[in-house]
Chain A
Amino acid sequence: MLDVEGLRMSYGTNEVLRDVNLQVRQGEVLCLLGPNGAGKTTALEILEGFRTRSAGRVEVLGADPAHGDERWRARVGVVLQSWRDHGNWRVRELLAQLGAYYTCYSTEEIERPWDIGELIAAVGLTAQAEHRVRTLSGGQRRRLDVAVGIVGRPELLFLDEPTAGLDPVARREFHDLVDQLAGEQHTTILLTTHDLHEAQKLADRIVILTGGRIVADGTARELAQRIAGEDEVRWSQGGERFVKSTPESTRFVHELFQRHGEAIADLEVRRASLEDTYLSLVRTTAAEPAEAAR
């Protein structure tokens, strides 16, 4: 689906991406997580074919995005953050207009474009179908952005910081929409975020990008274990409190009870969290100024 090897990008002497390697399998939801300025957007724009890389091999849906033709473009969806474009257009009108470009790209498996009525229902804008775009709320607008991105039923969908600036309700609605796309439509999705909980919630696999390098790659649980690695066990015994860090908390607690039985109270096990992993990774990178990208 997507294969990146030795990707580099620099502007003058400023290296934004250094030796990025990345594979995405069909149907996977992959989250590119990293602090601001880590190179997430640059990486995504190279994959979208909107930016020319400095070096490395990039293959998206079997083609180099820098030379992707219109047929390739029809299989890729890009969710762009709208601002004030198409403000006078009605929701249905705009989706019908943009969908029309995909009519010749239907295949035996995929009918393009998406039926406009169904699409509007899928993103929850049925009540706003005849409203003008500029009258939509922030959350409705972002859902319209997704609708525009998927109107051609893409096999691969890119989303850059899709929930930036959304309130918690709109954010939740947006997460449900992404889940639904991945679950029901089997769309392969690549999204960027700097929000840890969002990455944890949406992604099958998380790739942490910081300082222009990929420093970790795996499921949320794998990452938490692999890097921070230690769960935290707290308990009290005879009025005294204890804390112990251990990679195998279940076995440790079992042994604890075997040894002390009912003398153990206030037991608490805190699993290694992705947050710990993430912070330790980002800190490590920041501590090496020569390595960290500016």
Chain B
Amino acid sequence: MSPLGTALRAGWSRGLIELRQSFTNGGDLFNHFFWPVLMLIVTFLMRDVSFGSSGFELGTLMLPSVLGMNAAMAMIAMSHLLTAEREDGTLLRAKATPHGMAGYLVGKIVSVSGGLIADLAIFLIPGLLIVPGLTIGSAEAWLTLAWVLALGLVATLPIGAVLGSVFTNARAQGLLLLPVLGVIAISGVFYPITSLPEWTQWIAQLFPVYWLGLGMRSALLPDSAVAVEIGESWRQAEMIGVLGVWTVLGLVLAPIVLRRMARRESGSRVAERRERALQRIG
């Protein structure tokens, strides 16, 4: 096998090991369950609240939207991990290894996507028992869910890696969360987007959160639910278009930004960050 092939395979096993680790230690386990459980509680409370005259319960509309939102959040997970692991020297170790960066990235993609799929299952499976009226009997629904999820990952992971390379430390990274929460608030996750002012609808449609939510609703809701969407359509072509732009943007930028970041890494930089972090604690 070629050296790069070997590295990619090592990256794959790296991802699986990290995925397993995230399910065998307390802190990470908490992270895996906290949000899905919180979302389940919200869904549970909304299960009987009907939305206007649509004939649908808010809980039913919300469940697929939350799936879409979670898928988009893989971007944040990727970005966060990259910043944190640059700070602690994981990345420098990868750089000191032949083809280590390629292996490292494959590992991250595997562990973040794997973690996401697990988180989605943790939310979706109990959710199906709470919420009525989803089209879970049809194979088509699951197929749509799968390709929307795949498209979502391709669109968001590279952008996440770009964001992770741009932020220099974990605290700056925290600032990213504020605009993200803002985007989630206007993306029609917890309440149909058509009941929000039109200008927020336009902003929301620039970001993947809305489109992934829409994609998931198109997969899991019956056709009649399309009435509450913008233009009363699932707009799959537009979804592929917008997510496609994000994908291209990510795939073009990520190698450039990642290379630039990796080139700058060295032992003394990691040591500097360690000093700074220890001062913060002490």
Residue positions of A touching B, CB distance < 8 A: 41-42, 44-45, 48, 50-51, 70-71, 73-74, 78, 80-86, 88-89, 93, 97-98, 100-105, 148-149, 152, 160
Per the bound structure, the CA–CA distance linking A244 and B266 in Å amounts to 50
Task: List CB contacts (< 8 Å) of B126-174 with chain A.
Answer: none
Q: Which residues of B contact A160 (CB under 8 A)?
A: 267
Interface residues on chain B, size class? 20 to 34
Instruction: Give the distance to chain B from A69, nearest Cβ to Cβ, in Å.
Output: 9
Per the bound structure, the CA–CA distance linking A53 and B97 in Å amounts to 21
- Contact for A83 among B6, B14, B88, CB less than 8 A: B88
Q: Which 7 A-B pairs have the closest CB atoms?
A: A50-B266, A100-B10, A70-B98, A85-B90, A74-B98, A104-B3, A85-B88
Residue among B13, B18, B21, B274 facing the most chain A CB atoms (10 A cut-off): B21
Instruction: Give the distance to chain B from A268, nearest Cβ to Cβ, in Å.
Output: 44
Tell me if B279 is interfacial: C-beta within 8 Å of chain A: no
Per the bound structure, the CA–CA distance linking A149 and B267 in Å amounts to 13
**Contact assessment for A104 and B267 in the assembled complex, using a CB-CB cutoff below 8 Å:** no
Instruction: Give the distance to chain B from A103, nearest Cβ to Cβ, in Å.
Output: 6
Instruction: Give the distance to chain A from B6, nearest Cβ to Cβ, in Å.
Output: 5
**Contact assessment for B13 and A98 in the assembled complex, using a CB-CB cutoff below 8 Å:** no
- Contact for A98 among B1, B85, B93, B266, CB less than 8 A: B93
**Contact assessment for A82 and B268 in the assembled complex, using a CB-CB cutoff below 8 Å:** no
Indicate with 1 or 0, residue by residue over B1-33, a CB within 8 angstroms of chain A CB atoms.
111001101100110011001000100000000
Known: A45-B267, A45-B268, A50-B267. A85 touches B25 (CB 8 A): no
Nearest residue (CB) in B for A86 is: B90
Q: Which residues of B contact A82 (CB under 8 A)?
A: 89
Tell me if B95 is interfacial: C-beta within 8 Å of chain A: yes
Known: A50-B95, A101-B98, A105-B3. A41 touches B268 (CB 8 A): yes
**Contact assessment for B99 and A101 in the assembled complex, using a CB-CB cutoff below 8 Å:** yes
Interface SS majority for chain B: helix
Instruction: Give the distance to chain B from A209, nearest Cβ to Cβ, in Å.
Output: 15
Residue positions of B touching A, CB distance < 8 A: 1-3, 6-7, 9-10, 13-14, 17-18, 21, 25, 85, 88-90, 92-93, 95-100, 103, 265-268, 270-271, 274
Not counting A45-B268, A81-B271, a sample of 5 additional A-B residue pairs whose C-beta atoms are within 8 angstroms of each other reads: A50-B265, A80-B89, A80-B92, A84-B88, A101-B97
Provide a sorted-by-A list of 22 A–B residue pairs whose CB atoms are within 8 angstroms. A45-B266, A45-B267, A50-B267, A74-B3, A80-B89, A80-B93, A81-B89, A81-B271, A82-B89, A83-B270, A85-B93, A86-B93, A88-B21, A88-B25, A97-B13, A98-B97, A101-B10, A101-B100, A102-B97, A104-B3, A105-B98, A160-B267
**Contact assessment for A71 and B89 in the assembled complex, using a CB-CB cutoff below 8 Å:** no
Q: Which residues of A contact B17 (CB under 8 A)?
A: 89, 93, 97
Per the bound structure, the CA–CA distance linking A90 and B10 in Å amounts to 16
- Contact for A89 among B13, B21, B267, B268, CB less than 8 A: B21
**Contact assessment for B103 and A101 in the assembled complex, using a CB-CB cutoff below 8 Å:** yes
**Contact assessment for B270 and A70 in the assembled complex, using a CB-CB cutoff below 8 Å:** no
Per the bound structure, the CA–CA distance linking A80 and B100 in Å amounts to 15
Per the bound structure, the CA–CA distance linking A98 and B266 in Å amounts to 18
Q: Which residues of B contact A41 (CB under 8 A)?
A: 267-268
Instruction: Give the distance to chain A from B160, nearest Cβ to Cβ, in Å.
Output: 20
Q: Which residues of B contact A78 (CB under 8 A)?
A: 96, 267
Instruction: Give the distance to chain A from B144, nearest Cβ to Cβ, in Å.
Output: 36
- Contact for B7 among A84, A101, A152, CB less than 8 A: A101
**Contact assessment for A97 and B96 in the assembled complex, using a CB-CB cutoff below 8 Å:** no
Q: Which residues of B contact A149 (CB under 8 A)?
A: 96
Known: A70-B3, A89-B21, A98-B97. A80 touches B14 (CB 8 A): no
Known: A70-B3, A70-B98, A98-B97. A85 touches B89 (CB 8 A): yes
Nearest residue (CB) in A for B85 is: A85
- Contact for A80 among B2, B13, B96, B98, CB less than 8 A: B96
Instruction: Give the distance to chain A from B145, nearest Cβ to Cβ, in Å.
Output: 31
Q: Which residues of A contact B88 (CB under 8 A)?
A: 83-85
Q: Which residues of B contact A70 (CB under 8 A)?
A: 3, 98-99
Per the bound structure, the CA–CA distance linking A166 and B64 in Å amounts to 54
**Contact assessment for B270 and A80 in the assembled complex, using a CB-CB cutoff below 8 Å:** yes
**Contact assessment for A101 and B6 in the assembled complex, using a CB-CB cutoff below 8 Å:** yes
Instruction: Give the distance to chain A from B88, nearest Cβ to Cβ, in Å.
Output: 4
Q: Which residues of B contact A44 (CB under 8 A)?
A: 267
Per the bound structure, the CA–CA distance linking A78 and B265 in Å amounts to 13
Per the bound structure, the CA–CA distance linking A78 and B97 in Å amounts to 9
Instruction: Give the distance to chain B from A197, nearest Cβ to Cβ, in Å.
Output: 23
Per the bound structure, the CA–CA distance linking A86 and B100 in Å amounts to 15
Instruction: Give the distance to chain A from B259, nearest Cβ to Cβ, in Å.
Output: 14
